[in-house]
Structure formats: structure tokens, C-alpha cells
Structure 1
Amino acid sequence: MEELERVGARVARIRKQRGLTQVALAKKAGSSVSMVSKIEGGYASASSQLLGAIAQALGVDTTVLTGSQDGPEQLHEMVPTIRRALASVDLYDPDAGPEQISVLRSRVVELNSWRRATKYRKIGLALPDLVEQLLIAGREYGEPAYALLADAYRASNTLAHKLGYADLSLTAMDRMEWAARRSGDVLLLATTHYLRAAALARIGAGKQALLLLDRTMTDIEPFIEADRDAAAVWTALHMRAGTIAATLADSAGSQQHLDEAARVAESVGNRVVYETTVGPANVQLHAIAAAVDLGQGGKAIRIAKTTALPGDMATERRTHFHLDSARAYLLNRNPDEAIEELHQAHALAPEHFRASTTVKTALQTAAAQQRRASYGLRSLANHAGLVD
């Protein structure tokens, strides 16, 4: 299974070509020497954010470490269309009349449901026309239309990120922030920063991402006592900061952010606010991811075993739970349990599984740990589009 033996070996090869030791690479990436060693040796599966930091330190694009963008072909075929949808905010037919705002709202609600359910093909088919209609509606209806447009741009960011197009993801974030500012909604704007921070971290700009999050938290802190939605966004910002700090090997900072998120999440409850999953359960999911990126596999597994996922939690978040649990088991050198978690992720979200870089790196790590690839691993590799 040669296609599964990639990321760690590539990191090591490029590091040596750059004349870097593991110590030097860890310092440049803001990670720990232990984590770099484990990734290279096939004992740890890096998150997309940690891989972004390592790629930046090596001076390469993340796809050089993970391989080509080999997600579902039918999704990649939509990328030029999505690029056109994001290319401009003022090039539409000036004589076209807008659809009714109620109709557009229903279409965006459906789009958001597809995003949470990881129905990426449906998103790609619907986005270009919907974005154009919302741009026209913004001219007529103003703030309500721009709020809906921000959600549409968020869906385009999701698709771009899942398929590994960092440039397109950042463009989508620019558009989302542009629309959010025109919506007049401070919390929607803060939510765009929550998403932009992740996009920055994926290209190795974790420190800048934390600065953005800190600034945004300062902006909305005055509202969190009186406004439950503001408190929900506040928890999301701290969750994001907790996971990004973990990729920078800042264990104390990560824990501080996650503790604050957990404290406020108790009053927020498990729900969706501004199309973002919040609440105690999602804080637990972020804590698992952070523990893995800090090299704390045992801690991550303990958290996972005590986490109860709400029945109505979005498929996307449930899938991340299983993927990060798999990464935790790999860190503890238990590939069989990791493969079980990956099977769960595939059953929940086949499109996400096929497109996800995290899935591919986890499979590569599992292959490195198994002396002989099991049938289950080979089956998952085929589902992920890896050559067997």
C-alpha cells in the first residue's frame, strides 16, 4: 500500500533537503520536537492546522505533504464554477429583479442543512446561482440579504477547505466578512473571524489567527452576560483558540481557552448559533483535537470515552469526533481501534471521508503502524480514493 506511506516520509525528506533537524523544524513550525518526530515516524496523524504550520515552516504548500488534491472528482469539477461565484461582488445583471427574501431565506436554510450534513455536491450545484441572487437582493433588501449571503459564502468556504483549496477558502472568507459587515450584525462578523482563524491556521499563520481571535473576543465580551447568543459565539472563539494554541505547542494557553469555553458553554447549552455548533459537547470535541495535537493521546481517549454526543448534533461535528478519536488511538499506537473510528466516520459522511485530508493522513499513519495492512484498512483506503 505504497500510496498510504506518505506524509511522515515526505516531511522527513523535505526537512532534510532544507538542511533542518527535527528540533529546527519544530521551532519554525511552533510545534514540539516530540510531535514532529511522531509524525515523521508514523506514530501521529497531524491535523490540517498542524500540517499547515509544518508546511509553512518547510516552505511548501500543504498539498506537497499530503499529495495531490484527490477528493471526489465530481466535486473538483465544480471548483471553476465556485471560483466564478466568488470572483466579484458587483458583476451581475443590473436589470435583474431580486427573488422574495422569504424564498431566498428558505434556500439558504437548505444550503446550511447540506453543509452540516456534509452534502458537498449539493452545495456546489446550488451555490453560483444562489450567490448571484443574494447579491441582487442585497441591493434591494439590504442587511437581511447580506446576512443570508454571508451564510452562502460560508458554505463555499466549507467546500473549498474540504477539497484542499486554501486560496479559494481565503477568498470565500473575504467575501463572507464583506457580507457580514453589510449585515450590521456584530455577532455574525465575529463568527466570520472564528472561521477565518481556522483558515489562517491551515496555511501556517497560527499566531496571526490567535491575534484575530483575541481581538474579536475583546469586541464581544461586553455583550456576553446579557446576550445568550453573544455568549455562544464567545465559546466558539475560545474553542477555536484552544485548538490553534495546541498546534503551537502551547499547552497552558490551549487549556485556558478550553476552560473558558467550557465555563460559558454550560449556560449556552448544546445548540446551533450563527450556523455554528456550540455547547458543552462541542467543547469536549475541541478538547480531544487539542490533546491529540499536543501529543496527549491518553488524555484525548479519556475525553472521548466520556463524551456524550447529542442525538441532533450535526453530522459534520459527529464525523470530526470519530476522526479525532482515530488520531488519538494512532498516537497511542492502537491502529485497530483507530480503524474502527474511521469506519464510523465513513458511515456517517462518505463525501467528507473521500475529500478529507485528515482522513488520508490518518490512513497513512495506520498503514505505517500495521505490519501488514488489514482488509479493513484497505477498504477504507479505497473509500478515501487512495490507490491500493
Structure 2
Amino acid sequence: MANVGQRIAAERKMAGLGQQQLANKANYSLSMIKAVEQGREPASTGLISAVAKVLRITPEQLTGAPYDDGKPLSDAVNNLSVLLTEGRYARATEPGTLAEIEADLEAAQQLYRNDRTRQTIEVLPALIRRIHGAVRELSGDEKAHAYTLLTSAYVLAEWSARRTGHLLLALPALDLADGYAPLAADPNYGAFSALARARVLTHYGESEVAGQLISSAIDSSDSSREGMVMAGYSHLAGAINEARKLDYSNASAHIQAARELATHTGETDIYMTAFGPLNVEIHAHAIELEAGDPNRAALEGAKLTHGPDAPPTRIAHHWQDNARAWLMSGKPDKALVALNKARIAAPQQTRLHPSVRETLHGIAVAEKRRTETLAGFASWLGTSI
């Protein structure tokens, strides 16, 4: 099975580019391009985005995502695809009360928080159809509240599609969230939807427009706790966007701004942001890995501590990054330990994330032997080494 480096080499040659030309256009060093193509270094998310943009392909053509996780996920994705294709003409169903809808939406959000993304996708189409039913039946403040729930549900659909690697579904979900946000009772949902779009643009390497959306969200926030959470979450998105451009200084400035806001908000899951001191520190390690010193990211990231209520998917994402940092620091054994921590924290997300496969391949190349532990992880992941 081809890894990212092999796919980059193949696509580069088809585009008629030498390694130096690709390195220049993608703003990465020649040594890094060579190392990635030879499998000696794992391809970072930023490098994948930059290279894909140069080669005029999608990042998924390099990572191979989305990955097959069995028929249940396929069935769920098919139902969501139908709903998103219907768009604003979605078939509405009997809604029930707003209180019932709100409780069911919170339950779907909890599934997402707890690494049950496939189950989230399974319940969303029917739930969104019910919200459309409420929008068509209600008026006044109740209708505006229904639009708030509808916007939130489409953002959740976008997040779920992106987490499972179905980026083409994320785009219509974003369009729908953008369309309904101005009708919502909560004015912050406009910025919330824009930030979701900014994260997808960052994924595709379009940092300029992403940066504009992030700046707009920061500027529109107020001094309420909700406003500070939105601003802090925006700064975290900005930090990743700058890190993907390898601008460590600006990324660090965003982290510092988010850290200051987190001292006022504390840990909170307002707007499902999981914003607070813990998430700020997780992002600080991420930008160190992406645009700073991987060895420092490995050492400091390994010290992360958290309470029992920490969101498992955030914790797993941290250990995925920490694994890549250890591999880049020449410690493949510690990289595998970190991957197993990610697996324990959020197995579904870990199995579906492209960076895990890339890191595992790098560990196999570095160790130059097939250990039972490594082979076992690859078998669980559904890949070969």
C-alpha cells in the first residue's frame, strides 16, 4: 500500500517537477521533500496541504482518505450525502417539541465528543429533517431558535464529515450552515460557521482567505464569556493556520492571545469548542511540531496532564502529534507508545486519521524490522507496513 511519500513522488513526476522545484514552490526544504518521499520523515499536515496545492490535487489524493471502516460507516455517510444533496430543499419530518430536538442535538454532540463520530453521522440526517420541520412550523423567537439548532446541526455534520475524511461532504454542510446562521437567534453562529470554513481552507492550504475569516471572527467577538470563548477558539484556528505557513512567530502570538482569554473563561465546551487552558496547551505543542522544534514538541508534549473530563478526541489528537514529534526526533519506540495512547483515548478517530498511518509507516522504516507490537497496531489500523 502506497504511503504519502510515495504518492507525492508519483504525482510530482506526473506534474513534470523535480524535487527542488517542488520544494521551492511548496516553501519546504529540499532535504524535507527527499526525506518524506523516501519515507524517512512523516509528512506533516502542512506539507501535505502545501504540496497538494502545488500539484493541483486534493490532500486526500496524497493521504488516501477517507479510509474504509466497514459498511456501517458507508451506510451512514450515504444517508448524510442524500440529505446534503437535498440542501435547502431537505425533506422535513414531524419535529416534536423544540425541547426534544435540543435534547437530541445535545446527545448527537455528546456522541461526537466521545469519539462516536460514525454514530453521530447515523443520527444527524433524521434529526436535521426534524429541525427543518420545526423551522417550517414555527414563527417568531421559536423559529429563530430552531434556526440556531439547524445551524449548529449542519456545523456538526461538517465536523463529522471532516473527521472521517469525507471532505467533499464538508463543503455543502458549510454552505448550509452559512446560509442559516444569519437567521439564528445567537449572533455568534455566523462567526462559528465561518471558523469551520477557515479550518477547511487551512486544510487545503488556502491560508489567506482562512486568515481573513479568522480575523473577522476575532473582531466580531464581544466581552461576554461566549464572546471570549469564540475569540479564543478563533485564535487557536489562527495559530494552526499560521503554523501551516511555517510562521512560528504569528502562530505563537495567537497562542498567547488564546492563553490570556482562557484564564478568564476557564475550561468550557460552549459551542462545542472544548476551549480552555488544556486545549490552548495542546495547540501550543501542535504549532511547535508544525513550525518550531519537533524535539521540543516531543519532550514537552509528553508531559501533558489532564483531568478525567478532558475531551478524548482532543487528547488523542495530541498523542497523534506527539508520536510524529518523537519520530522526527529519532525515537520511533516512543512514537509507537504515543500512538497507542491515542488509540486508548479515541480509537475511532485514531483509526481514521491520515497522520496515524503516515507516522506508523515512518516507525516501520526507522526500526527496519517488523515487531509484533508494530504489526499488531498496523493490523488494528487496517493497513500494511
TM-score of the pair, normalised by structure 1: 0.91
Q: Which of 305, 308, 312 in structure 2 is aligned with 1:315?
A: 312
Structure 1 residues 106-115 or 301-310, which shifts more? 301-310
Tell me what 1:44 maps to. 41
Letter of the 2:326 counterpart: Y
Report Cα offsets for 1:1-24 as digits up to 9, x if no partner: xx3x61122223322433334443
Q: Distance in 2 between matches of 1:317 and 1:301?
A: 17
How many residues of Structure 1 are paired with residues of Structure 2 in the alignment?
Answer: 380
Q: Distance in 2 between matches of 1:142 and 1:32?
A: 54
- Mapping of residues 359-370 of structure 1, within 5 Å: 359-370=356-367
1:239, CA displacement in angstroms?
0.9
Letter of the 2:219 counterpart: T
Tell me what 2:17 maps to. 20
Q: Distance in 2 between matches of 1:183 and 1:51?
A: 36
Structure 1 residues 21-30 or 148-157, which shifts more? 21-30
Tell me what 1:235 maps to. 232
Tell me what 2:355 maps to. 358
Tell me what 1:107 maps to. 104
1:281, CA displacement in angstroms?
1.1
Q: Which of 73, 76, 82 in structure 1 is aligned with 2:74?
A: 76
In structure 2, the residue corresponding to 1:274 is in which secondary structure? Answer: helix
Question: In the alignment, is the contact (CA less than 8 A) between 2:65 and 2:165 conserved in 1?
Answer: no
TM-score of the pair, normalised by structure 2: 0.92
Q: Distance in 1 between matches of 2:261 and 2:99?
A: 34
Structure scoring higher RCO (CA < 8 A, sep ≥ 6) equals: 1
User: Any gaps of 5 or more consecutive residues in structure 1?
Assistant: none
In structure 2, the residue corresponding to 1:87 is in which secondary structure? Answer: helix
1:162, CA displacement in angstroms?
2.3
Q: Distance in 2 between matches of 1:177 and 1:233?
A: 16
Letter of the 2:194 counterpart: H
1:330, CA displacement in angstroms?
1.2
Q: Distance in 1 between matches of 2:30 and 2:269?
A: 37
Q: Distance in 1 between matches of 2:91 and 2:249?
A: 53
Q: Distance in 1 between matches of 2:251 and 2:298?
A: 17
Report Cα offsets for 1:31-86 as digits up to 9, x if no partner: 45554344334343334454222212112222321235323122123222111121
Letter of the 1:298 counterpart: N
Q: Distance in 1 between matches of 2:134 and 2:47?
A: 40
Q: Return closer, same or farther for 1:22/1:239 CA change in 2, 3 Å cut-off.
A: farther
Question: In the alignment, is the contact (CA less than 8 A) between 2:114 and 2:313 conserved in 1?
Answer: yes
Q: Distance in 2 between matches of 1:211 and 1:355?
A: 30
Report the RMSD for the aligned CA atoms in angstroms: 2.1
Q: Distance in 1 between matches of 2:242 and 2:273?
A: 20
Question: In the alignment, is the contact (CA less than 8 A) between 2:83 and 2:90 conserved in 1?
Answer: no
Tell me what 1:85 maps to. 83
Question: In the alignment, is the contact (CA less than 8 A) between 1:23 and 1:33 conserved in 2?
Answer: yes
- Mapping of residues 226-305 of structure 1, within 5 Å: 226-294=223-291, 296-305=293-302
Q: Does 1:347 align with 2:344?
A: yes
Question: In the alignment, is the contact (CA less than 8 A) between 1:145 and 1:183 conserved in 2?
Answer: yes
Q: Distance in 2 between matches of 1:254 and 1:289?
A: 10
Tell me what 1:154 maps to. 155
Report Cα offsets for 1:62-113 as digits up to 9, x if no partner: 232123532312212322211112123443557x543100000110010000
Question: In the alignment, is the contact (CA less than 8 A) between 2:278 and 2:306 conserved in 1?
Answer: yes
Tell me what 2:371 maps to. 374
Q: Distance in 1 between matches of 2:20 and 2:264?
A: 43
Question: In the alignment, is the contact (CA less than 8 A) between 1:180 and 1:192 conserved in 2?
Answer: yes
Q: Return closer, same or farther for 1:149/1:33 CA change in 2, 3 Å cut-off.
A: farther
